[in-house]
Protein backbone atom coordinates (compact mmCIF):
# COMPACT_ATOMS: atom_id res chain seq x y z
CA UNK A 1 0.00 0.00 0.00
CA UNK A 2 1.28 3.50 -0.85
CA UNK A 3 1.08 5.60 2.31
CA UNK A 4 1.24 9.35 2.85
CA UNK A 5 1.99 9.99 6.52
CA UNK A 6 0.75 13.00 8.50
CA UNK A 7 2.50 13.44 11.87
CA UNK A 8 4.19 16.22 13.81
CA UNK A 9 4.40 15.34 17.51
CA UNK A 10 6.76 12.85 19.16
CA UNK A 11 3.83 10.43 19.64
CA UNK A 12 3.83 9.92 15.85
CA UNK A 13 7.45 8.76 15.64
CA UNK A 14 7.01 5.02 16.48
CA UNK A 15 4.34 4.69 13.79
CA UNK A 16 6.51 6.52 11.25
CA UNK A 17 9.42 4.17 11.96
CA UNK A 18 7.13 1.12 11.79
CA UNK A 19 5.82 2.19 8.38
CA UNK A 20 9.35 2.89 7.11
CA UNK A 21 10.39 -0.65 8.09
CA UNK A 22 7.23 -2.29 6.72
CA UNK A 23 6.38 -3.61 3.26
CA UNK A 24 4.31 -0.49 2.61
CA UNK A 25 5.66 2.32 0.44
CA UNK A 26 6.04 5.64 2.26
CA UNK A 27 5.46 8.41 -0.26
CA UNK A 28 6.38 11.14 2.17
CA UNK A 29 5.72 12.85 5.49
CA UNK A 30 3.47 15.86 6.03
CA UNK A 31 4.35 17.79 9.19
CA UNK A 32 3.66 21.21 10.63
CA UNK A 33 5.97 24.06 9.57
CA UNK A 34 9.07 24.93 11.61
CA UNK A 35 8.26 27.15 14.58
CA UNK A 36 10.26 29.51 16.83
CA UNK A 37 11.48 27.75 19.98
CA UNK A 38 13.73 28.40 22.98
CA UNK A 39 15.06 31.66 24.32
CA UNK A 40 16.50 32.63 20.95
CA UNK A 41 13.21 31.84 19.18
CA UNK A 42 15.16 29.97 16.52
CA UNK A 43 13.05 28.26 13.86
CA UNK A 44 12.93 24.60 14.89
CA UNK A 45 11.46 21.59 13.07
CA UNK A 46 8.89 19.39 14.81
CA UNK A 47 9.82 15.75 15.66
CA UNK A 48 7.98 14.43 12.60
CA UNK A 49 10.01 16.65 10.29
CA UNK A 50 13.28 15.69 11.98
CA UNK A 51 12.64 11.96 11.57
CA UNK A 52 11.46 12.39 7.97
CA UNK A 53 14.79 14.02 7.16
CA UNK A 54 16.69 11.31 9.06
CA UNK A 55 14.91 8.65 7.02
CA UNK A 56 15.49 10.66 3.83
CA UNK A 57 11.78 10.77 3.08
CA UNK A 58 10.12 13.55 1.06
CA UNK A 59 8.94 16.17 3.55
CA UNK A 60 5.98 18.51 3.10
CA UNK A 61 5.25 21.35 5.53
CA UNK A 62 2.39 23.40 4.05
CA UNK A 63 1.50 26.48 6.13
CA UNK A 64 -2.18 25.73 5.42
CA UNK A 65 -3.15 22.14 4.73
CA UNK A 66 -6.47 23.39 3.32
CA UNK A 67 -4.70 25.38 0.58
CA UNK A 68 -5.84 24.01 -2.82
CA UNK A 69 -2.23 23.99 -4.10
CA UNK A 70 -1.08 21.96 -1.09
CA UNK A 71 -3.93 19.48 -1.57
CA UNK A 72 -3.12 19.12 -5.27
CA UNK A 73 0.59 18.58 -4.57
CA UNK A 74 -0.14 15.83 -2.05
CA UNK A 75 -2.77 14.07 -4.13
CA UNK A 76 -0.41 14.08 -7.13
CA UNK A 77 1.61 11.53 -5.15
CA UNK A 78 -1.36 9.16 -5.64
CA UNK A 79 -1.48 7.64 -2.14
CA UNK A 80 -3.64 4.58 -1.48
CA UNK A 81 -4.17 5.70 2.12
CA UNK A 82 -3.40 8.60 4.44
CA UNK A 83 -2.15 7.74 7.94
CA UNK A 84 -2.63 10.49 10.53
CA UNK A 85 -0.89 10.45 13.95
CA UNK A 86 -0.66 13.61 16.09
CA UNK A 87 -0.49 15.89 13.05
CA UNK A 88 -2.15 18.78 14.88
CA UNK A 89 -4.45 20.11 12.15
CA UNK A 90 -7.77 19.08 10.62
CA UNK A 91 -7.46 17.45 7.21
CA UNK A 92 -9.82 18.83 4.55
CA UNK A 93 -12.44 16.47 3.12
CA UNK A 94 -10.84 16.76 -0.31
CA UNK A 95 -7.73 15.05 1.07
CA UNK A 96 -9.44 12.51 3.31
CA UNK A 97 -11.80 11.10 0.70
CA UNK A 98 -9.56 11.08 -2.38
CA UNK A 99 -7.45 7.90 -1.86
CA UNK A 100 -8.86 4.39 -2.32
CA UNK A 101 -8.85 3.78 1.43
CA UNK A 102 -10.22 6.45 3.76
CA UNK A 103 -7.64 8.14 6.00
CA UNK A 104 -6.72 6.25 9.18
CA UNK A 105 -6.05 8.07 12.46
CA UNK A 106 -4.21 6.68 15.52
CA UNK A 107 -5.52 8.10 18.81
CA UNK A 108 -4.13 7.39 22.33
CA UNK A 109 -7.32 6.48 24.19
CA UNK A 110 -10.13 3.94 24.19
CA UNK A 111 -12.59 6.03 22.23
CA UNK A 112 -15.17 7.43 22.69
CA UNK A 113 -13.51 8.12 26.05
CA UNK A 114 -11.10 11.05 25.93
CA UNK A 115 -11.71 12.74 22.62
CA UNK A 116 -9.49 15.78 22.33
CA UNK A 117 -6.00 17.18 22.61
CA UNK A 118 -4.84 15.65 25.93
CA UNK A 119 -6.20 12.10 26.37
CA UNK A 120 -3.22 10.69 28.28
CA UNK A 121 -2.96 13.43 30.93
CA UNK A 122 -6.70 13.28 31.57
CA UNK A 123 -6.64 9.50 32.00
CA UNK A 124 -3.95 9.85 34.70
CA UNK A 125 -5.55 12.93 36.26
CA UNK A 126 -8.83 11.06 36.67
CA UNK A 127 -7.10 8.09 38.28
CA UNK A 128 -8.01 5.65 35.50
CA UNK A 129 -6.58 2.15 35.85
CA UNK A 130 -6.51 1.46 32.11
CA UNK A 131 -6.32 3.21 28.76
CA UNK A 132 -5.32 2.22 25.25
CA UNK A 133 -5.06 3.13 21.58
CA UNK A 134 -7.69 3.31 18.84
CA UNK A 135 -7.46 3.38 15.07
CA UNK A 136 -10.34 5.09 13.31
CA UNK A 137 -11.52 6.90 10.23
CA UNK A 138 -10.98 10.66 10.02
CA UNK A 139 -14.16 12.67 10.59
CA UNK A 140 -14.96 16.38 10.44
CA UNK A 141 -15.64 16.38 14.19
CA UNK A 142 -12.57 15.89 16.39
CA UNK A 143 -11.87 12.21 17.15
CA UNK A 144 -15.39 11.24 16.13
CA UNK A 145 -14.50 8.79 13.36
CA UNK A 146 -15.64 5.18 13.20
CA UNK A 147 -13.42 2.72 15.10
CA UNK A 148 -11.34 0.07 13.32
CA UNK A 149 -9.33 -1.54 16.12
CA UNK A 150 -8.48 -0.90 19.79
CA UNK A 151 -5.87 -2.24 22.17
CA UNK A 152 -5.99 -1.87 25.96
CA UNK A 153 -3.22 -1.44 28.54
CA UNK A 154 -2.96 -0.87 32.30
CA UNK A 155 -1.72 2.50 33.58
CA UNK A 156 1.09 1.95 36.07
CA UNK A 157 0.59 3.72 39.41
CA UNK A 158 3.90 5.58 39.08
CA UNK A 159 3.72 6.29 35.34
CA UNK A 160 3.64 9.90 34.20
CA UNK A 161 2.11 11.26 30.99
CA UNK A 162 5.41 11.29 29.11
CA UNK A 163 6.13 7.66 29.95
CA UNK A 164 2.58 6.62 29.08
CA UNK A 165 2.82 8.47 25.78
CA UNK A 166 6.00 6.61 24.87
CA UNK A 167 4.32 3.27 25.59
CA UNK A 168 1.12 4.09 23.76
CA UNK A 169 3.12 5.32 20.79
CA UNK A 170 4.63 1.85 20.39
CA UNK A 171 1.24 0.18 20.82
CA UNK A 172 -0.25 2.56 18.27
CA UNK A 173 2.38 1.63 15.69
CA UNK A 174 1.53 -2.08 16.04
CA UNK A 175 -2.19 -1.38 15.86
CA UNK A 176 -1.82 0.76 12.75
CA UNK A 177 -0.03 -2.01 10.86
CA UNK A 178 -2.78 -4.47 11.84
CA UNK A 179 -5.37 -1.96 10.66
CA UNK A 180 -3.72 -1.52 7.26
CA UNK A 181 -3.49 -5.29 6.87
CA UNK A 182 -7.21 -5.64 7.60
CA UNK A 183 -8.07 -2.90 5.11
CA UNK A 184 -5.96 -4.48 2.38
CA UNK A 185 -7.53 -7.90 2.95
CA UNK A 186 -11.00 -6.32 3.26
CA UNK A 187 -11.53 -8.13 6.58
CA UNK A 188 -11.90 -4.96 8.64
CA UNK A 189 -14.95 -2.75 8.90
CA UNK A 190 -15.16 0.41 10.99
CA UNK A 191 -17.87 0.68 13.66
CA UNK A 192 -19.48 3.94 14.86
CA UNK A 193 -18.59 5.24 18.32
CA UNK A 194 -21.17 5.07 21.10
CA UNK A 195 -22.23 8.71 21.46
CA UNK A 196 -23.59 8.07 24.97
CA UNK A 197 -20.08 7.30 26.27
CA UNK A 198 -18.20 10.35 25.01
CA UNK A 199 -15.71 11.89 27.45
CA UNK A 200 -13.74 14.96 26.37
CA UNK A 201 -10.04 15.59 27.00
CA UNK A 202 -9.56 19.32 26.38
CA UNK A 203 -6.25 21.08 25.93
CA UNK A 204 -4.25 21.69 29.11
CA UNK A 205 -3.53 25.24 30.28
CA UNK A 206 -0.44 26.34 32.20
CA UNK A 207 -2.38 27.66 35.20
CA UNK A 208 -3.91 24.22 35.74
CA UNK A 209 -0.56 23.12 37.19
CA UNK A 210 -0.84 25.31 40.31
CA UNK A 211 -1.33 22.85 43.17
CA UNK A 212 -4.20 23.44 45.57
CA UNK A 213 -3.05 21.87 48.84
CA UNK A 214 -6.66 21.60 50.02
CA UNK A 215 -7.11 18.68 47.63
CA UNK A 216 -6.35 15.06 48.57
CA UNK A 217 -2.73 13.94 48.36
CA UNK A 218 -3.58 11.25 45.81
CA UNK A 219 -5.33 13.86 43.64
CA UNK A 220 -2.24 16.09 43.68
CA UNK A 221 0.00 13.09 43.02
CA UNK A 222 -2.05 12.23 39.94
CA UNK A 223 -1.79 15.84 38.82
CA UNK A 224 2.03 15.78 39.10
CA UNK A 225 2.12 12.62 36.96
CA UNK A 226 -0.48 13.85 34.48
CA UNK A 227 1.19 17.22 33.89
CA UNK A 228 4.73 15.89 33.35
CA UNK A 229 6.36 17.16 31.20
CA UNK A 230 3.78 19.87 30.35
CA UNK A 231 2.34 22.11 31.71
CA UNK A 232 4.09 20.94 34.89
CA UNK A 233 2.92 21.38 38.46
CA UNK A 234 4.08 24.10 40.82
CA UNK A 235 3.49 25.96 44.07
CA UNK A 236 4.98 29.10 45.57
CA UNK A 237 7.59 29.30 48.29
CA UNK A 238 8.65 32.73 49.54
CA UNK A 239 7.05 34.31 46.45
CA UNK A 240 9.12 32.12 44.11
CA UNK A 241 7.74 29.37 41.89
CA UNK A 242 8.75 25.85 42.89
CA UNK A 243 8.14 23.37 40.09
CA UNK A 244 7.46 19.80 41.18
CA UNK A 245 8.78 17.06 38.91
CA UNK A 246 8.26 14.01 41.09
CA UNK A 247 6.29 13.31 44.25
CA UNK A 248 4.67 10.52 46.26
CA UNK A 249 1.46 10.48 48.32
CA UNK A 250 1.56 9.75 52.04
CA UNK A 251 -1.66 8.48 53.59
CA UNK A 252 -1.04 9.04 57.30
CA UNK A 253 0.44 12.51 57.40
CA UNK A 254 -0.14 14.65 60.48
CA UNK A 255 -3.16 16.94 60.49
CA UNK A 256 -2.20 20.51 59.67
CA UNK A 257 -3.23 23.44 57.54
CA UNK A 258 -2.99 22.39 53.87
CA UNK A 259 0.33 23.55 52.40
CA UNK A 260 2.23 23.24 55.70
CA UNK A 261 5.68 21.63 55.52
CA UNK A 262 5.54 18.67 57.94
CA UNK A 263 8.99 17.16 57.40
CA UNK A 264 12.22 18.31 55.75
CA UNK A 265 14.59 15.37 56.26
CA UNK A 266 14.48 13.08 53.19
CA UNK A 267 12.15 15.29 51.15
CA UNK A 268 9.56 17.96 51.66
CA UNK A 269 6.39 16.44 53.10
CA UNK A 270 3.48 18.84 52.67
CA UNK A 271 0.08 18.59 54.35
CA UNK A 272 -2.88 18.20 51.98
CA UNK A 273 -6.63 18.23 52.43
CA UNK A 274 -6.27 14.51 53.08
CA UNK A 275 -2.87 12.88 53.64
CA UNK A 276 0.41 14.45 52.63
CA UNK A 277 2.53 14.81 49.50
CA UNK A 278 6.26 14.10 49.63
CA UNK A 279 8.11 16.25 47.09
CA UNK A 280 10.98 14.19 45.67
CA UNK A 281 12.28 16.23 42.74
CA UNK A 282 11.84 19.98 42.40
CA UNK A 283 13.06 23.03 40.51
CA UNK A 284 13.16 26.50 42.02
CA UNK A 285 12.48 29.42 39.71
CA UNK A 286 15.66 30.22 37.75
CA UNK A 287 17.50 27.13 39.01
CA UNK A 288 18.18 23.59 37.78
CA UNK A 289 15.98 20.57 38.40
CA UNK A 290 17.24 18.55 41.41
CA UNK A 291 16.31 16.09 44.13
CA UNK A 292 14.46 17.53 47.12
CA UNK A 293 17.43 16.54 49.29
CA UNK A 294 19.86 18.59 47.21
CA UNK A 295 17.39 21.47 47.09
CA UNK A 296 17.14 21.52 50.89
CA UNK A 297 20.94 21.69 51.24
CA UNK A 298 21.00 25.02 49.43
CA UNK A 299 17.55 26.25 50.41
CA UNK A 300 16.62 25.17 53.95
CA UNK A 301 12.86 25.07 54.46
CA UNK A 302 11.70 25.10 58.08
CA UNK A 303 8.98 22.78 59.33
CA UNK A 304 5.79 24.83 59.53
CA UNK A 305 6.54 26.83 56.37
CA UNK A 306 3.40 27.33 54.30
CA UNK A 307 3.61 26.57 50.58
CA UNK A 308 1.05 28.38 48.44
**Could you tell me if 11 and 170 are in contact, meaning their C-beta atoms sit under 8 angstroms apart?**
no
Residue 57: exposed, middle, or buried by beta-carbon count in 10 A (0-12, 13-18, 19+)?
middle
Is residue 229 classed as helix, strand or coil in its secondary structure?
Answer: coil
Confidence of residue 4 (pLDDT cuts 50, 70, 90): very high
Residue 7: how many CB atoms within 10 A of its CB? 28
Q: Which CATH code for domain 2-200?
A: 3.40.50.170
- Percent of the chain at pLDDT above 90? 94
Least Cα distance to 258 among 222, 213, 290 occurs for 213
> pLDDT grade, residue 253 (50/70/90)?
low
Biggest CA-to-CA distance, the chain:
68
In this predicted structure, what is the pLDDT of residue 158?
95
Q: Quote the CA–CA distance of 104 and 6 in Å, as a whole number.
A: 10
Sign of torsion over alpha carbons 23, 28, 30, 35: positive
What is the C-alpha to C-alpha distance for residues 210 and 232, in angstroms, rounded to an integer? 9
**Residue 264 in contact with residue 296, Cβ under 8 Å?**
yes
According to DSSP, the β-strands at 59-60 and 25-30 are parallel
Please write the tens of the pLDDT for every residue from 6-60. 999 999 999 999 999 999 999 999 999 999 887 788 899 999 999 999 999 999 9
**pLDDT tens digits along 217-232:** 999 999 999 999 999 9
CA distances (Å), origin 234, targets 9, 184, 207, 208, 224:
25, 49, 9, 9, 9
**Residues pairing with 242 in the sheet:** 235, 284
Across the range 229-239, mean pLDDT stands at: 95
Domain assignments of the chain as residue spans, ordered by start: 2-200, 206-298
What is the model's pTM? Answer: 0.94
CATH number for the domain formed by residue range(s) 206-298: 3.10.25.10
| Average pLDDT for 262-279 | 92
pLDDT given for residue 247 in this prediction: 97
pLDDT digits (tens, 9 = 90+) for 198-207: 999 999 999 9
What pLDDT was estimated at residue 255?
79
- Residues 51, 19 contacting (CB under 8 angstroms): no
Cα distances (Å, whole numbers) of residue 112 to 95, 106, 117, 142, 144: 24, 13, 13, 11, 8
pLDDT at 107: 98
Cα-only R_g, the chain: 22
Write down the mean pLDDT value for the chain.
96
Q: For the segment 102-150, what is each residue's pLDDT rounded down to a tens digit?
A: 999 999 999 999 999 999 999 999 999 999 999 999 998 999 999 999 9
Amino acid sequence: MKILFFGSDVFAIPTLHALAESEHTLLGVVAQPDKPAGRGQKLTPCPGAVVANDLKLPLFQPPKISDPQAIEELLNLKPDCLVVVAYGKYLPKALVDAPEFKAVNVHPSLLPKYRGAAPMPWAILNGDKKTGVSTMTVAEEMDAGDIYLQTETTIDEIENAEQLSNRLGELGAELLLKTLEGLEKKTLKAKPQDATKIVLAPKLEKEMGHLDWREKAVTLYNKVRAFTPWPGTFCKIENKILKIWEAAPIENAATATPGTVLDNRQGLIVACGQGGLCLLEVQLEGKKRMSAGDFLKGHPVAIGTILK
